[in-house]
Structure 1
Amino acid sequence: MDFALSPEDDDLRRRVAAFVNDEILPVEADRANWDAHENIADAPLARLQQKAKDAGLWAPQVPVEYGGRALSTVAMAAVYEEMNRSIFGPVCFNCAAPDDGNMWVLSKVGTEAQKEEFLKPIVDGSVRSSFAMTEPDGGCGSDPSLTYTTATRDGDKWIIKGRKWWTTGAGVAKHFIVIARTSDDDRKGLTAFLFHADQPGWEIVRRIPIMGPEEHGGHCELRFDGLEIPDSNRLLEVGDGLKVTQIRLGKARLTHCMRWLGMAKRAMELGMAYVEDRESFGQKLIDRESVQLQLAEAAMGIEIGRLLTMKAAWMIDQGDYARKEISMAKIQVADILHKAVDTSLQLNGGLGYSKDIPLEWMYRYARQARLVDGASEVHKMVISRTLRDMRRDFWHWGTPDDT
């Protein structure tokens, strides 16, 4: 396995890192630039996004024909990690969820007409998007077979009825992907559809209050009561909804890991800066063994997460689905994000618990990592099932005769 970046990709990584340091972190440091939901406000975000475009750093992950650089997954891992050194970083480059995952799946499976109508505006940054899959009242979550939102065919259109929630970004999204049931078939019973926010027949019931902080548009509960979607806005074939979710969520889980590693590293920076400066009982905190042990454990956990993420990224670039590798990375990185932030907060003491630095923001944000895009327990089930199926080959080196 080779995780080395090409000179061009490493140059991009360095330029992104410099942009975050010089342009985004100063904006993050001024609370006047925050909105009511503790994210970057629209006006400073628009300014930073334009600067990113002018610097040639906009949406580098998208295909070249849409203005991106079609980064490999390995290159994405390195670049996304740098972006999330700031809590506001990824959205400034149009590399944040849920738009990132939606752009990925639309570029892979959308028709040319769908790409023109739905993908291009997301890539341009003129609209935001959302992915409606999860349902309340015992509906779809980690188990898509529980989907009860229905799509009923009526000539050349589909009628959508049901409910969704935890629909990230729905409050500001203009383009949506919705997963609905079109038959009772266990594997081919779901279908994916595209619709615009201004279409009648659906509504946002509420923006769900959370521990916070929130992405732009929040996490919303939706009600569908007769939304009409033309068949031309169906993604792939009838019954391919599960396939669409697998294409989208597999890589989306890994991009979460890429970004979270950047945040974990930033948390460590904040911890290191404090203990290197703070003196107590005649000794710098950094010189105390107890502090050194905490820093070492967190640093080692981050590096393990990086290696798992990079291995999964490399396998994807080789054409592998990397399902168990993505699950292992998701568990490890979600855990270490929380541990790194918690460690840094503890080392910073009262300062870490205050809003003077972003650690308390990171702490609240980090708790969701073990839940989003599949709870850790679900990913452990995936790993266990794969181990049972593969036995000794679970640890193969990728060579034909490695039994």
Structure 2
Amino acid sequence: MDFTISPELDDLRARIAAFVDTEILPLEADPAAYDAHENIELGLLDRMRAKARAQGLWCLQLQPDTGGLGVGRMGMAVCYEAMNRSIFGPAVFNSAAPDDGNMMVLEAIATPDQKRRWLEPIVQGKVRSAFAMTEPSPGGGSDPSMIQTTADKQPDGSYRIHGRKWFITGAETAAHFILVARTSDNPRSGLTAFLFHRDQPGWRIVRRIGIMGPEEHGGHCEIDFDGLTVQPEDVLMGEGQGMKITQIRLGPARLTHCMRWLGLAKRCVEIANDYAAVRHGFGVRLADRESVQLMLGGLAMNIEIGRLLVMKAAWELDRGNFARKEVSMAKIQAANTLHQAADVAIQINGARGYSKDTVLEWIYRYARQARLVDGADEVHRMVLHRALSGEGSDFWRWPVAQA
């Protein structure tokens, strides 16, 4: 791996960072900038998105012919850190979950007609989307093979869908959905992915599930399917390809979470450093206390470990690999580092950190979900153990260049 970046990528990173500094960070201190669920207010978001798009800072995760900047996964790692220095950043640049992962998977596998109807409106910022996979027990969570929602094929080739999903991020404001349901009992080809629009009959949102918060736009919803009909042209990659689609989508989407979380972790360090530099106690600056230096030094190291793991996983993805173990390692490290960063920054800021005078308490509540979403820590450690059992000492092999 070569950790140098091109001047062009560095320029893009700098422009994103400058936009965050001048346009987005000031909004965090304005109560009117927040909606009822503590995210950026939608009217304000639309105005900020227009500014970002006018400056060419839009959908950098997609290829130019799709409407993006085509920076690749490694370029995304560089830029996503910069954009998530603000809690509002990813949504402004159209790089927030779940749209981020949905756009990438549709770009990769959708037919030209599906891209026109289902992808382009998300890229243009006209609609939002959701990915409906997770189910209540005994259905599928981190293990898609447990999915209970069924899609029964009809004589005319359409599918009738019945079942229940929950914790579907963004569902309340989404117009375009990707749904994973069971079409057979085959362990390898029993799942199929479908596209549907919110205006289609046969489904409903049961509730928006209250969480520790703050929430993404559209919340995390429980959904009931009672005869939703999907036409064959709205099947992704064909019947039986659902498991493959989840693998194509979830790996890169998990990694983009990590990229964003590292940006927030760095923001926590920034707030802690700034406060420690000016706050005195018992005649000594906090920044001069060894205990504070140890906390911040250790945190800086953990963030850098996370960055290296993320970049290695991004490099593997750019080479065309699934990077399962690399993504799992990055996921564990980035999620736990974000939680640690928010906790340490609050500790250093004291009562100020626990208050709403800074965004630290927002980040702290948000950070706890990081160790759960897209697979809990324990699930990813199991993935790593499975790789270790299969590869032995080759788990740590060096990639060798071709002669």
For normalisation by structure 2, the TM-score amounts to 0.98
Q: Distance in 2 between matches of 1:383 and 1:296?
A: 28
Match of 1:8 in 2: 8
Q: Distance in 2 between matches of 1:120 and 1:204?
A: 25
Q: Distance in 1 between matches of 2:330 and 2:234?
A: 34
Find the residue that maps to 1:43 and give its secondary structure.
helix
Once the two structures are TM-superposed, the CA of residue 374 in structure 1 deviates from its matched residue by 0.6
Match of 1:168 in 2: 169
Match of 1:212 in 2: 213
Once the two structures are TM-superposed, the CA of residue 66 in structure 1 deviates from its matched residue by 2.3
* One-letter amino acid matched to 1:98: P
Match of 1:146 in 2: 146
Match of 1:231 in 2: 232
Match of 2:100 in 1: 100
Once the two structures are TM-superposed, the CA of residue 311 in structure 1 deviates from its matched residue by 0.7
* One-letter amino acid matched to 2:170: G
Q: Distance in 1 between matches of 2:283 and 2:267?
A: 28
Once the two structures are TM-superposed, the CA of residue 3 in structure 1 deviates from its matched residue by 2.5
- CA deviation map 1:159-181 (0-9, x unaligned): 01000001000000000000000
**Would you say the 8 A contact 2:58–2:69 is kept in 1?**
no
Match of 1:129 in 2: 129
Once the two structures are TM-superposed, the CA of residue 64 in structure 1 deviates from its matched residue by 0.8
Q: Distance in 2 between matches of 1:139 and 1:303?
A: 37
- CA deviation map 1:10-54 (0-9, x unaligned): 110000000000000011221111011000001111111000011
- CA deviation map 1:195-230 (0-9, x unaligned): 000000000000000000000000000000000000
Q: Distance in 2 between matches of 1:98 and 1:268?
A: 27
Aligned-residue identity in percent = 61
Instruction: Note if 1:355 corresponds to 2:363.
Output: no
Identify unmatched segments of 5+ residues in structure 1.
Answer: none
**Would you say the 8 A contact 1:73–1:314 is kept in 2?**
yes
- Number of matched pairs: 401
Match of 2:373 in 1: 372
Q: Which moved more, 1:60-69 or 1:187-196?
A: 60-69
* One-letter amino acid matched to 1:260: W
Cα RMSD (Å): 0.9
Q: Distance in 1 between matches of 2:59 and 2:317?
A: 20
Q: Distance in 1 between matches of 2:247 and 2:66?
A: 23
**Would you say the 8 A contact 1:27–1:44 is kept in 2?**
no
Q: Distance in 2 between matches of 1:246 and 1:179?
A: 12
* One-letter amino acid matched to 1:66: T
* One-letter amino acid matched to 2:302: G
Q: Distance in 1 between matches of 2:333 and 2:286?
A: 28
Runs of 4+ in 1 over 2 A off after TM superposition: none
Once the two structures are TM-superposed, the CA of residue 400 in structure 1 deviates from its matched residue by 7.1
Once the two structures are TM-superposed, the CA of residue 187 in structure 1 deviates from its matched residue by 1.1
**Would you say the 8 A contact 1:254–1:326 is kept in 2?**
yes
Instruction: Note if 1:158 corresponds to 2:176.
Output: no
* One-letter amino acid matched to 2:91: V
Q: Distance in 2 between matches of 1:375 and 1:41?
A: 30
- CA deviation map 1:267-306 (0-9, x unaligned): 0001001110101111100000011000111111000000
Matches within 5 A, 1:1-400: 1-154=1-154, 155-399=156-400
Q: Distance in 1 between matches of 2:115 and 2:71?
A: 19
Q: Distance in 1 between matches of 2:236 and 2:119?
A: 12
Q: Distance in 1 between matches of 2:13 and 2:245?
A: 30
Find the residue that maps to 1:23 and give its secondary structure.
helix
Once the two structures are TM-superposed, the CA of residue 399 in structure 1 deviates from its matched residue by 1.6
**Would you say the 8 A contact 2:169–2:221 is kept in 1?**
yes
* One-letter amino acid matched to 2:149: T
- CA deviation map 1:378-399 (0-9, x unaligned): 0000101101111111111112
* One-letter amino acid matched to 2:174: A
**Would you say the 8 A contact 2:66–2:107 is kept in 1?**
no
